[in-house]
C-alpha cells in the first residue's frame, strides 16, 4: 500500500487550501416572478427583445444552418464514404442526411418564443411561489456570450429545467439557447413542434452505430457552436435524475462541443454550469412510481393536458444558480499540449485519443461537481434526511432541533442552504411540511410519513405504498448526499474498520468509493484527495482528530459519525441485497430487463417478511448503479449477443463481494483474492467487521 | 594594466583598429537599431512624423496621420520618451580574450582581424527585440573576442584550420539580420569566440549565361548581388524583406524565402551548388546540375544548418533576365475571410503573381497611416472619392475590410494578361481593385517596419514580427487565434494598453500559406518589459503550434525557438540532425548552439 504519511499531509495541505467552502462567497438571489405578478404578461411577451450576441456572429436563419451542415466537408465526406461502401448513389444518402436534419433541426422563431413567454408566465406563477436567480451569474453569462461560444450545462431534475432556463434568458434579454432534447418529445403532437420553434433540437437516444446520423448530428451542433449562433444547452446527466441525485455524466455531446476548441476552430469555449433546484419537484410522485417499476407514461400531449391538475398545486420556490463560466482553454492548458489534430485533416471523423477521452471525462465530472457545489438546499431537504433516520414517527420538537443541528453541519461541509432571513427553525420546518403534505404530516406533535390507507389493503400494497413515500422522501435527502459523501464515507469506513490507523481507514474508504462510483459523483482518480477532504471536513466539525498515522473520533464526534453513516446506510444495505441476489439467485447470464424485476421481487419478498427495512433497494436506479459498479470492478462482465446486452456474473468473485457486504461470512474468504488485490481483500475484511457495528 | 598583462596581453597589443575592411559600411549603419544611420522616423518641429534620408521612397516626406495612429493604437504619447544611450560605452564591453599563439598564426595568414570593442559588439547580435534593447540600455554578457574578415574561400579554410588547431569557437556572421538569437554568443562558451565576418567575400565569380547560373561568394549582400547582376541584365529574384543587408550565405544557412518566390522560388529552389568549409573538410558536389538522385540531397543538410556545421563560402545560384515590366496592384476585400478565400483560389489556379499578400484590417490601417501628405487638392479629392466609393457605395466597413497587395513581373503583355486573370478571381470573392499606389505602399511597409520599431522604442512601444506556415484550411483559425492569444496574454501579463496584434498572409503555396505577424505594445507601467514581451511571444508560438502551424517558415530556429525543435521534427529527426553535426564538427568548433 503506497500511502506514506508524507503524501497524506502534503495533499492535506492542498485540500485544506482549496476547500474554504463555507467562506465561499455566493451571489444573492433575485425573484423574477415578482415583476411578473406586478405587470402585464402580454406586454412582457411582446417586449422588445434584442439580445447581445457573440462578437463574431453574422446572424442567420435556422435553415441556413441546416444547409451549411449538409454542405459541410464533414458530412459530405461521410456521405461519399457510405456511398462507396454501400454502392449507392450519394444523392440517396444525401437525401437521408437531409431527412435526419429535418427531424433534428430546430427552427427557432421569435413568435413561438413569445408564445412561451406568455404561457409560461401564467403557468409558472400558478405553480411556483418564487423563481430565484443569481443576477450576477446572469451578468457573467451575458458577458460570456459576447466573448466566446457558450455551452449551458444545467442540472436535470424536471422537464421544467429547459423551459425555465429559456424563459430566464428571455427575461434577461439574453440570446436564447438551442437545446438538445430527446427524440421522444417529437412523439407529442404540437408540443414537439412548438418546442422545436422555441429552439429545441432533437437527438435520437442511441445512434452510436449510425455513422451518417453521428456525422450529421455532431456537425449540426458544431456548426452552431463555431458560429456562435446561440448558446448550446444540454444535460450532462443525459436524462432527468429520478432521484434528485446527480447522475454520472454522459460524454457524447460534451465531446462534440469540446471538439471545435480542441481543433482550434474557435479560440475558446465557455462551459457554464447551472444548478437548478426545486423546493418541490413537479414529477416527484411520477419518479417514485417509475423507480418502483410502474412504467413511465409515454410523452403525449394528452398526458400533458391531464397533468393540468397539478396547476392547482403549490411547488414552492425554484433556485437557479448560474455558475461562473469555465474557459475550456484554461482547463486544457498544460493538459492537452500535444497537437492531436495536426496530422489529419480536421473534417475527417476521428476517434478521440485516450488523452482526449480522459480529458472529456474529467471536464464532465468537474462540471457536475460545480453544479453540485452551487445547488441550493432548502430546509426541507434537511428535514427529509432526518426523518428518514427516524421512521415511522418523530417528535416535532426534536425534529426542529435536529434540523438546526444539521443545518450547521451542512454549512460546514460547504452545502449551499438558502434559509429565508429571520425565519425561525420552527417556521421553516412547518412550511416544508405544508409544501410536502403529500409526503409527511404532523400528527399529535409527531411527524409521520404520509402513507394514507396503509391500514387497509394487502401486505404487498402496504409495502408498495410505504416504498413510495420513502422514495419520495429520499428524493429530498438525496440532494444532500453529494455534499456529504466524502466525510460520510470516511465515517462509514471508520465504523467498518474499527481501526484508527489512517491507512486502513483510507483503504476501506477507497473501496467504498469504487463500489459507489456510479451512485455518487467523484472526480476520477483522486481517491486520496477525496479522503483527505472527507477527513478535513470531519476535523472541521470536530468529529475526528487526526495525527500523522491515525484518526480518532472525538467524544462529541460520535453523534456526527453515526448520523453520517446512517445517512448512507440505505446504500450499503441496498447494495448488499443486490449483491446477495446476484450471487445467490442468478446462475447464468442475464439482461438488464431480467435483472431489475428479479431484484425487485427478491427485495419485495424480504420486505414483506420483515427481513429487511431497506425500501430503497427497490429503486431501479440503485439497482442499475450497483450493476454498473460491479461491471467496473470486474465482478460482472458485459457481453453483446445479437443486439442484447448480457451481463455475465463472475460468480466466484461476486460471491466474495456479496460476502463482504453480507453477514455472516462463510469461512473461505481467502478465495476472493482471485482477481482481487490484497488491498481490496483487506478492505473487504474491514467492511465485514464494520457492517456489524453499522447495522447494530 | 597589470590585470591585462596578467591575462597575456598588454595595452599596446590592443589597438583600436588593426584593420576593419568593413569599417566604411559599418559606419553607415546604426549601432543600436535597424538599418542606415540617415534613415529614421522622427517627429519634426511641428510634431508631425517624418522619415529622414533619401534612400527610400518615403524619405523626406511628412506623414500627417502617423502620429495620431501611434497615439490611438498604442496609447503612446510624445511626452513619454525613453532615450537610448548615445553611443557604445566601451568600458562595459567584455574584454577580448585571445590566445597569443593563435594571433601569431592568424597574422601569418594576412587575414584582417579586429579586437576592437565596437567591431565585436556589432557582431554580437542580430535584430531580436531583446538584443536591440540590450544595445540601448545594457550590455551583452558574452560577445566575440575577435572578428576576422576572410576575403575568399581559401581564407576561410585557413581560419577553420586554425580554429581546429587552437580549439576556438567560430560564429559565422553575414548581414547580421538574424531574428532568432542565432548570433548571440553562448554565455557559457569558455573558448575564444571568433566572429567570421563574410562581408569581404562579396564577388560574383562568374556568370554562365547558357545555363543561367552565377557563382557568387557567400558574403555578398542581397542588394549588391542584384545591382551587380543587373549590370549584365540578370537578377536572382530572391528578395527577402531584409535584402538590403542580409547575405547570400545567410540565406542558405537559414533556408530563406523571398518575396517573389512565386516566380523565382525560395533559396532551396535557387541554389545549384554550395561550397562549405567544415572542420571535417570541404563539402561540395561534383557537378552543377538541376537535379540528381544520389541519396538525400546534401544541400539540405547545409540549408538551414544556421552556422552549426561550417561556413558557406561559394554558391552557384540560378539567374534570370531582368524582367521587362513590373506593376504593383491592390485589391480591397470586404473582410479577411473573403481575402483568404481569394488567395487560396489564386494558389489553386497556380496563377499567383510574383508576390501576393493579404494584410488584415489593422495592418491596412497601419499602412494607411504611412500615407505621405498629398501634394494637391485634386489627389486628396480623388482619395476622398475612392473612400466614398468603397465604404459607402460598396458598403465595405473600413474597420473590417482588408487589402491584398500584388506585384506582377515579366513581359508587359503577359503582366497585363496575368493582372486581369487575378483581378477576375478577386472579383468573384467580392474584391475591388484599389490601385497601384496602395500596393506599393504595402510593400514599402515591410522595408520600413524595422525603422518604425526603433521609433517605437523611443516612446515605450516594443514590438517584433514572427512568422509561420500553415495549411490552407487552418489559415483563418490560426490568424484569429494567435492574434486573440496575444491580446489576452497582454492583458494577463499586466500590459495596460491594448496591443497591436496584426497579421498578413504573405506567401501562398499549393498546400498552404506563410503568415506573418506584427505584435507591439506600449509597456509603460511594466517593470520588466522584455521578459513580459518574451513570455507573450512564447505563448503566441505555442498557439501557432497548437493551431497546426510550423515553428518557422523562413526566420529559422536559432536559439530563440530551440525548445520546440523536438516537438517539431520528432526525437528521431533530431537525432538524425545531431549525428550529422557530430560527424561534421565533433569538437563543436561551430559552437553557436543554434538549432539543436
Helical segments of B429-474, H only: 436-458
Report whether A256 contacts A149 (CB < 8 A). Answer: no
The set of residues, in sequence order, having a beta carbon less than 8 Å from that of B294 and lying 6+ positions away, is: none
Nearest CA in chain B to A342: B548
- Taking the C-alpha atoms of residue A575 and residue A627, their distance in angstroms, rounded to an integer, is 9
Contacts of B481 in chain A (CB under 8 A): 264, 267
Average pLDDT over residues A149-166: 94
Q: Would you give the distance in Å from CA A656 to the centre of its chain?
A: 30
Angle between helices A62-71 and A90-104 (to 10 degrees): 150
The pairing of strands A178-182 and A200-203 is parallel
Task: Inform me whether the pLDDT recorded for A6 exceeds 70.
Answer: no
The pLDDT, as a whole number, for residue A682 is: 45
Contacts of A338 in chain B (CB under 8 A): 567
- Taking the C-alpha atoms of residue A68 and residue A75, their distance in angstroms, rounded to an integer, is 10
- Taking the C-alpha atoms of residue A398 and residue A429, their distance in angstroms, rounded to an integer, is 11
- Taking the C-alpha atoms of residue B526 and residue A506, their distance in angstroms, rounded to an integer, is 49
Instruction: Count Cα atoms within 13 angstroms, Cβ side, for A275.
Output: 27
The pLDDT, as a whole number, for residue A9 is: 37
The pLDDT, as a whole number, for residue A662 is: 38
Cα–Cα nearest to A162, from A146, A179, A138, A145: A179
- For residue A681, name the pLDDT band (cuts at 50, 70, 90): very low
Task: Inform me whether the pLDDT recorded for A436 exceeds 70.
Answer: yes
Average pLDDT over residues B127-150: 93
Task: Inform me whether the pLDDT recorded for A23 exceeds 60.
Answer: no
- For residue A675, name the pLDDT band (cuts at 50, 70, 90): very low
DSSP state letter for A550: B
Helices and strands, number each (H, E), in chain A:
28, 18
Report whether B188 contacts B201 (CB < 8 A). Answer: no
> Grid coordinates representing B217?
561568394
Residue-by-residue DSSP string for B145-184:
SEEEE--SHHHHHHHHHHHHHHT-EEEEESSS--SSSTTS
Q: Would you give the distance in Å from CA B503 to the centre of its chain?
A: 16
Cα–Cα nearest to A299, from A138, A171, A137, A188: A188
The pLDDT, as a whole number, for residue B2 is: 38
Most confident stretch, A388-397, A676-685, B58-67, B221-230: B221-230
Kind and range of the H or E element at B500? Answer: strand B500-508
Q: Is B473 on the interface with A (CB under 8 A)?
A: yes
Nearest CA in chain A to B474: A265
The pLDDT, as a whole number, for residue A454 is: 52
The pLDDT, as a whole number, for residue A464 is: 87
User: Residue A645's CB: how many other CB atoms inside 10 A?
Assistant: 13
- Chain A segment 20-59 residues within 8 A of B by beta carbon are none
- For residue A680, name the pLDDT band (cuts at 50, 70, 90): very low
Nearest CA in chain B to A340: B546
Residue B12 exposed, middle or buried by CB count within 10 Å (0-12, 13-18, 19+): exposed
What is the radius of gyration, based on Cα positions, of chain B? 24
DSSP state letter for B95: P
Contacts of A347 in chain B (CB under 8 A): 473
Q: Is A265 on the interface with B (CB under 8 A)?
A: yes
The set of residues, in sequence order, having a beta carbon less than 8 Å from that of B13 and lying 6+ positions away, is: none
The set of residues, in sequence order, having a beta carbon less than 8 Å from that of B401 and lying 6+ positions away, is: B332, B333, B334, B335, B361, B364, B390
Q: Is B492 on the interface with A (CB under 8 A)?
A: no
Select from B473, B484, B547 the Cβ nearest to the Cβ of A345: B473
- Taking the C-alpha atoms of residue B464 and residue B502, their distance in angstroms, rounded to an integer, is 11
- For residue B236, name the pLDDT band (cuts at 50, 70, 90): very high
Task: Inform me whether the pLDDT recorded for A529 exceeds 80.
Answer: yes
pLDDT: which is higher, A59 or B375: A59
Q: Would you give the distance in Å from CA B224 to the centre of its chain?
A: 17
- Taking the C-alpha atoms of residue B138 and residue A127, their distance in angstroms, rounded to an integer, is 74
Give tens-digit pLDDT for A218-228.
999 999 999 98
- Taking the C-alpha atoms of residue B570 and residue A362, their distance in angstroms, rounded to an integer, is 29
Q: Would you give the distance in Å from CA B516 to the centre of its chain?
A: 12
Select from B473, B480, B485 the Cβ nearest to the Cβ of A346: B473
- For residue B7, name the pLDDT band (cuts at 50, 70, 90): very low
Nearest CA in chain B to A265: B477
Asked about B516 being catalytic, the answer comes back as yes
Q: Lowest-pLDDT range, A106-115, A680-689, B272-281?
A: A680-689
- For residue A338, name the pLDDT band (cuts at 50, 70, 90): low
Grid cell 500559406 is found at B513
The pLDDT, as a whole number, for residue A619 is: 94
Cα–Cα nearest to B127, from B590, B564, B560: B560
Average pLDDT over residues B119-129: 95
Q: Are B548 and A339 in contact (CB < 8 Å)? A: yes
Give tens-digit pLDDT for A639-674.
766 555 556 666 555 655 555 543 332 222 223 333
> Grid coordinates representing A605?
419478498
Q: Would you give the distance in Å from CA A602 to the centre of its chain?
A: 27
Residue B47 exposed, middle or buried by CB count within 10 Å (0-12, 13-18, 19+): exposed
Give tens-digit pLDDT for B532-579.
999 999 999 999 999 999 999 999 999 999 999 999 999 999 999 999
The pairing of strands A200-203 and B271-278 is unpaired
For A199, B258, B356, B474, the CA distances from B347, given in Å and listed in that order, are 41, 17, 10, 15
The pairing of strands A644-649 and A178-182 is unpaired
Q: Point out the annotated binding site of B for substrate.
A: 453
DSSP state letter for B219: T
Angle between helices B475-492 and B336-348 (to 10 degrees): 140
Task: Inform me whether the pLDDT recorded for B518 exceeds 80.
Answer: yes
Report whether B219 contacts B176 (CB < 8 A). Answer: no
- Taking the C-alpha atoms of residue B504 and residue B367, their distance in angstroms, rounded to an integer, is 12
Contacts of A267 in chain B (CB under 8 A): 480-481, 484-485
The pLDDT, as a whole number, for residue A380 is: 95
Q: Lowest-pLDDT range, A54-58, A491-495, B316-320?
A: A54-58
Q: Are B477 and A264 in contact (CB < 8 Å)? A: yes
Report whether A275 contacts A375 (CB < 8 A). Answer: yes
Cα–Cα nearest to A650, from A639, A641, A640: A639
The pLDDT, as a whole number, for residue B372 is: 83
Phi, psi dihedral angles at A134 (to 5 degrees)? -85, 110
The set of residues, in sequence order, having a beta carbon less than 8 Å from that of A259 and lying 6+ positions away, is: A218, A222
What percentage of chain A carries pLDDT values higher than 70? 84
Residue-by-residue DSSP string for A559-605:
HHHHHHHHHTHHHHHHHHHHHHHHHHH--S-B-HHHHHHHHHHHHHH
Handedness of CA A596, A600, A601, A606 (dihedral sign): positive
Q: Lowest-pLDDT range, A199-208, B170-179, B320-329?
A: A199-208
Handedness of CA B368, B369, B371, B374 (dihedral sign): positive
For B101, B191, B194, B485, the CA distances from B108, given in Å and listed in that order, are 11, 21, 17, 56
Give tens-digit pLDDT for B490-506.
999 999 999 999 999 99
Task: Inform me whether the pLDDT recorded for B521 exceeds 50.
Answer: yes
Grid cell 491594448 is found at B498
If you count them, how many residues does chain B have? 596
- Chain A segment 288-347 residues within 8 A of B by beta carbon are 337-339, 341-342, 345-347
Give tens-digit pLDDT for B334-346.
999 999 999 999 9
Grid cell 405587470 is found at A39
For B44, B45, B444, the CA distances from B64, given in Å and listed in that order, are 11, 13, 17
> Grid coordinates representing B375?
501634394
Residue-by-residue DSSP string for A625-662:
HHHHHHHHHTSEEEEEETTEEEEEE-HHHHHHHHHHHS
HEC sequence for B322-389: CCCEEEEEEEEECCHHHHHHHHHHHHHCCCCCCEEEEECHHHHHHHHHCCCCCCCHHHHHHHHHHHHH
Kind and range of the H or E element at B197? Answer: strand B193-197
DSSP state letter for B392: I
Give tens-digit pLDDT for A600-646.
999 999 999 988 999 999 999 999 999 888 888 877 777 766 555 55
Q: Is A264 on the interface with B (CB under 8 A)?
A: yes
> Grid coordinates representing A532?
483527505
Distance from the Cα of B394 to chain A's closest Cα (Å) equals 18
Report whether A687 contacts A661 (CB < 8 A). Answer: yes
What percentage of chain B carries pLDDT values higher than 90? 75
Phi, psi dihedral angles at A250 (to 5 degrees)? -100, 145
Kind and range of the H or E element at A200? Answer: strand A200-203
The pairing of strands A270-278 and A150-154 is parallel
- For residue B388, name the pLDDT band (cuts at 50, 70, 90): confident
- Taking the C-alpha atoms of residue A546 and residue A501, their distance in angstroms, rounded to an integer, is 10
- Taking the C-alpha atoms of residue A261 and residue A225, their distance in angstroms, rounded to an integer, is 10
- For residue A452, name the pLDDT band (cuts at 50, 70, 90): low
Task: Give the bridge partners for A153, in sequence order.
Answer: A273
- For residue A378, name the pLDDT band (cuts at 50, 70, 90): very high
Q: Lowest-pLDDT range, A287-301, A520-534, B390-404?
A: A287-301
Give tens-digit pLDDT for B429-455.
999 998 898 888 888 878 888 899 999
Q: Is B547 on the interface with A (CB under 8 A)?
A: yes
Report whether B387 contacts B394 (CB < 8 A). Answer: no
This prediction's pTM: 0.88
Q: Lowest-pLDDT range, A343-352, A559-568, B463-472?
A: A343-352
> Which 3 state secondary structure label does DSSP give B236?
coil
The pLDDT, as a whole number, for residue B591 is: 96
Nearest CA in chain A to B480: A267
Task: Inform me whether the pLDDT recorded for B97 exceeds 50.
Answer: yes
- Give the mean pLDDT of chain B: 91
The pLDDT, as a whole number, for residue A462 is: 84
Contacts of B477 in chain A (CB under 8 A): 264-265
- Give the mean pLDDT of chain A: 84
- Chain B segment 235-254 residues within 8 A of A by beta carbon are none
Amino acid at each position: 500500500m503506497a500511502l506514506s504519511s508524507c503524501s497524506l499531509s502534503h495533499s492535506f495541505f492542498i485540500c485544506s487550501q482549496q476547500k474554504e467552502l463555507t467562506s465561499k462567497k455566493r451571489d444573492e438571489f433575485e425573484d423574477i416572478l415578482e415583476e411578473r405578478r406586478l405587470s402585464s404578461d402580454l406586454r412582457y411577451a411582446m417586449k422588445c427583445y434584442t439580445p447581445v450576441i457573440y462578437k463574431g456572429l453574422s446572424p442567420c436563419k435556422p435553415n441556413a444552418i441546416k444547409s451549411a451542415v449538409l454542405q459541410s466537408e464533414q458530412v459530405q465526406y461521410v456521405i461519399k464514404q457510405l456511398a462507396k461502401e454501400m454502392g449507392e448513389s450519394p444523392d440517396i444518402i444525401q437525401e437521408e442526411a437531409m431527412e435526419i436534419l429535418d427531424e433534428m433541426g430546430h427552427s427557432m422563431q421569435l413568435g413561438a418564443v413569445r408564445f412561451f413567454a406568455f404561457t409560461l408566465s401564467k403557468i409558472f406563477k400558478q405553480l411556483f411561489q418564487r423563481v430565484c436567480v443569481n443576477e450576477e451569474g446572469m451578468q457573467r453569462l451575458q458577458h460570456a456570450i459576447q466573448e466566446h461560444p457558450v455551452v449551458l450545462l444545467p442540472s436535470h431534475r424536471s422537464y421544467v429545467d429547459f423551459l425555465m432556463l429559456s424563459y430566464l434568458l428571455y427575461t434577461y434579454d439574453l440570446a436564447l439557447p438551442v437545446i438538445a432534447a430527446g427524440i421522444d418529445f417529437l412523439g407529442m403532437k404540437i408540443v414537439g413542434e412548438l418546442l422545436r420553434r422555441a429552439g429545441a433540437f432533437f437527438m435520437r437516444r442511441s445512434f452510436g452505430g449510425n455513422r451518417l446520423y453521428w456525422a450529421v448530428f455532431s456537425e449540426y451542433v458544431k456548426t452552431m457552436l463555431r458560429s456562435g449562433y446561440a448558446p448550446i444547452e444540454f444535460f450532462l446527466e443525459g436524462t432527468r435524475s429520478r432521484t434528485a441525485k446527480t447522475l454520472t455524466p454522459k460524454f457524447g455531446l460534451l465531446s462534440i462541443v469540446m471538439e471545435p476548441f480542441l481543433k482550434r476552430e474557435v479560440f475558446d469555449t465557455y462551459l457554464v454550469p447551472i444548478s437548478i433546484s426545486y423546493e418541490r419537484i413537479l414529477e416527484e410522485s411520477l419518479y417514485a412510481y417509475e423507480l418502483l417499476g410502474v412504467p413511465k407514461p409515454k410523452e403525449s400531449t394528452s398526458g400533458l393536458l391531464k397533468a393540468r391538475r397539478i396547476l392547482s398545486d403549490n411547488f414552492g420556490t425554484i433556485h437557479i444558480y448560474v455558475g461562473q463560466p469555465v474557459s475550456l482553454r484554461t482547463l486544457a492548458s498544460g493538459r492537452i499540449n500535444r497537437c492531436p489534430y495536426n496530422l489529419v485533416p480536421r473534417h475527417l471523423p476521428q476517434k478521440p485519443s485516450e488523452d482526449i477521452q480522459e480529458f472529456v471525462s474529467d471536464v464532465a465530472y468537474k462540471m457536475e461537481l460545480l453544479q453540485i457545489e452551487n445547488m441550493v438546499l432548502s430546509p426541507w431537504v434537511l428535514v427529509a434526511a432526518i426523518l428518514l433516520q427516524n421512521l415511522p414517527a418523530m417528535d416535532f420538537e426534536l425534529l426542529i432541533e435536529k434540523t438546526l443541528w444539521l443545518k450547521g453541519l451542512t454549512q460546514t461541509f460547504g452545502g449551499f442552504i438558502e434559509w429565508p432571513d429571520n425565519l425561525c427553525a420552527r417556521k421553516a420546518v412547518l412550511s416544508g411540511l405544508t409544501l410536502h403534505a403529500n409526503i409527511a404530516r404532523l400528527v399529535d406533535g409527531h411527524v409521520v410519513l404520509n402513507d394514507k390507507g396503509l391500514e387497509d389493503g394487502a401486505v404487498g400494497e402496504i409495502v408498495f405504498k410505504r416504498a413510495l413515500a420513502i422514495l419520495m422522501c429520499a428524493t429530498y435527502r438525496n440532494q444532500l448526499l453529494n455534499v456529504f459523501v466524502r466525510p460520510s464515507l470516511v465515517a462509514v469506513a471508520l465504523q467498518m474498520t474499527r481501526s484508527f490507523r489512517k491507512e486502513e481507514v483510507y483503504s476501506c474508504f477507497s473501496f467504498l468509493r469504487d463500489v459507489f462510483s456510479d451512485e455518487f459523483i467523484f472526480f476520477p482518480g483522486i481517491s486520496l484527495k477525496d479522503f483527505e477532504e472527507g477527513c478535513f471536513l470531519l476535523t472541521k466539525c470536530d468529529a475526528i482528530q487526526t495525527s500523522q498515522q491515525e484518526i480518532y473520533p472525538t467524544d462529541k464526534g460520535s453523534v456526527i459519525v453515526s448520523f453520517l453513516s446512517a445517512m448512507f446506510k440505505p446504500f450499503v444495505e441496498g447494495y448488499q441485497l443486490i449483491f446477495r441476489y446476484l450471487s445467490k439467485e442468478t446462475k447464468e447470464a442475464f439482461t438488464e430487463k431480467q435483472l431489475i424485476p428479479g431484484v425487485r421481487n427478491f427485495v419485495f419478498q424480504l420486505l414483506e417478511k420483515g427481513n429487511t427495512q431497506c425500501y430503497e433497494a427497490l429503486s431501479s436506479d440503485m439497482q442499475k448503479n450497483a450493476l454498473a459498479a460491479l461491471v467496473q470492478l470486474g465482478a460482472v462482465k458485459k457481453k453483446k449477443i445479437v443486439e442484447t446486452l448480457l451481463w455475465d456474473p463472475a460468480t466466484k468473485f461476486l460471491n466474495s463481494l456479496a460476502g463482504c457486504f453480507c453477514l455472516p461470512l462463510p469461512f473461505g474468504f481467502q478465495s476472493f483474492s482471485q482477481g482481487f488485490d490484497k488491498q481490496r481483500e483487506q478492505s473487504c475484511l474491514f467492511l465485514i467487521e464494520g457492517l456489524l457495528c453499522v447495522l447494530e | 594594466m597589470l590585470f591585462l598583462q596578467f591575462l597575456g596581453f598588454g595595452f599596446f597589443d590592443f589597438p583600436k583598429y588593426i584593420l576593419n575592411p568593413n569599417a566604411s559600411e559599418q559606419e553607415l549603419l546604426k549601432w543600436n537599431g535597424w538599418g542606415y544611420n540617415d534613415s529614421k522616423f522622427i517627429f519634426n518641429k511641428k510634431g508631425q512624423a517624418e522619415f529622414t534620408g533619401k534612400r527610400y521612397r518615403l524619405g523626406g516626406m511628412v506623414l500627417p496621420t502617423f502620429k495620431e495612429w501611434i497615439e490611438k493604437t498604442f496609447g503612446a504619447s510624445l511626452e513619454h520618451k525613453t532615450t537610448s544611450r548615445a553611443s557604445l560605452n566601451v568600458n562595459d564591453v567584455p574584454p577580448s580574450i585571445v590566445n597569443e599563439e593563435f594571433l601569431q598564426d592568424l597574422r601569418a595568414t594576412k587575414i584582417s582581424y579586429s579586437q576592437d570593442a565596437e567591431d565585436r559588439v556589432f557582431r554580437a547580435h542580430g535584430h531580436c527585440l531583446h538584443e536591440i534593447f540590450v544595445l540601448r540600455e545594457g550590455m551583452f554578457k558574452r560577445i566575440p573576442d575577435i572578428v576576422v574578415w576572410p576575403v575568399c574561400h581559401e581564407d576561410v579554410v585557413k581560419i577553420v584550420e586554425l580554429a581546429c588547431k587552437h580549439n576556438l569557437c567560430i560564429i559565422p556572421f553575414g548581414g547580421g539580420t538574424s531574428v532568432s538569437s542565432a548570433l548571440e554568443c553562448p554565455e557559457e562558451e569558455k573558448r575564444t569566440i571568433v566572429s567570421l565576418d563574410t562581408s569581404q567575400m562579396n564577388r560574383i565569380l562568374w556568370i554562365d549565361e547558357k545555363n543561367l547560373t552565377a557563382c557568387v561568394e557567400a558574403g555578398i549582400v542581397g542588394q549588391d548581388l542584384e545591382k551587380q547582376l543587373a549590370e549584365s541584365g540578370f537578377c536572382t529574384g530572391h528578395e527577402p524583406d531584409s535584402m538590403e543587408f542580409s547575405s547570400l550565405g545567410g540565406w542558405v544557412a537559414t533556408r530563406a524565402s523571398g518575396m517573389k518566390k512565386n516566380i523565382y522560388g525560395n533559396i532551396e529552389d535557387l541554389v545549384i551548388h554550395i561550397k562549405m568549409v567544415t572542420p571535417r573538410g570541404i563539402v561540395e558536389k561534383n557537378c552543377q546540375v538541376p537535379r540528381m538522385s544520389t541519396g538525400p540531397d546534401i544541400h539540405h543538410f547545409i540549408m538551414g544548418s544556421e552556422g552549426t556545421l561550417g561556413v558557406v563560402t561559394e554558391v552557384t545560384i540560378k539567374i534570370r533576365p531582368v524582367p521587362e515590366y513590373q506593376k504593383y496592384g491592390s485589391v480591397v476585400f470586404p473582410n479577411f475571410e473573403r481575402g483568404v478565400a481569394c488567395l487560396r483560389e489564386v494558389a489553386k489556379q497556380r496563377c499567383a503573381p510574383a508576390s501576393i499578400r493579404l494584410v488584415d484590417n489593422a495592418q491596412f490601417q497601419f499602412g494607411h497611416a504611412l500615407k505621405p501628405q498629398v501634394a494637391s487638392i485634386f489627389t486628396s479629392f480623388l482619395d476622398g472619392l475612392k473612400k466614398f466609393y468603397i465604404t459607402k457605395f460598396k458598403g465595405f466597413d473600413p474597420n473590417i475590410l482588408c487589402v491584398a497587395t500584388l506585384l506582377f513581373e515579366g513581359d508587359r503583355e503577359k503582366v497585363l494578361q496575368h493582372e486581369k486573370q487575378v483581378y477576375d478571381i478577386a472579383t468573384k470573392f467580392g474584391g475591388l481593385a484599389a490601385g497601384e499606389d496602395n500596393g506599393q505602399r504595402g510593400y514599402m511597409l515591410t522595408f520600413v517596419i524595422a525603422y518604425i520599431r526603433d521609433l517605437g522604442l523611443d516612446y515605450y512601444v516594443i514590438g517584433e514580427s514572427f512568422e509561420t506556415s500553415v495549411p490552407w484550411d487552418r489559415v483563418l483559425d490560426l490568424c484569429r487565434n494567435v492574434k486573440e492569444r496575444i491580446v489576452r496574454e497582454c492583458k494577463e501579463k499586466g500590459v495596460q494598453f491594448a496591443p497591436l496584434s496584426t497579421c498578413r498572409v504573405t506567401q501562398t503555396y499549393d498546400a498552404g500559406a506563410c503568415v506573418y505577424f506584427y505584435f507591439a505594445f506600449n509597456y509603460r507601467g511594466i517593470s520588466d518589459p522584455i521578459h513580459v514581451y518574451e513570455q507573450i511571444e512564447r505563448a503566441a508560438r505555442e498557439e501557432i503550434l497548437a493551431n497546426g502551424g510550423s515553428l518557422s517558415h523562413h526566420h529559422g530556429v536559432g536559439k530563440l525557438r530551440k525548445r520546440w525543435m523536438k516537438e517539431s521534427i520528432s526525437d528521431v529527426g533530431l537525432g538524425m540532425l545531431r549525428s550529422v553535426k557530430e560527424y561534421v564538427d565533433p569538437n563543436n568548433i561551430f559552437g553557436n548552439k543554434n538549432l539543436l
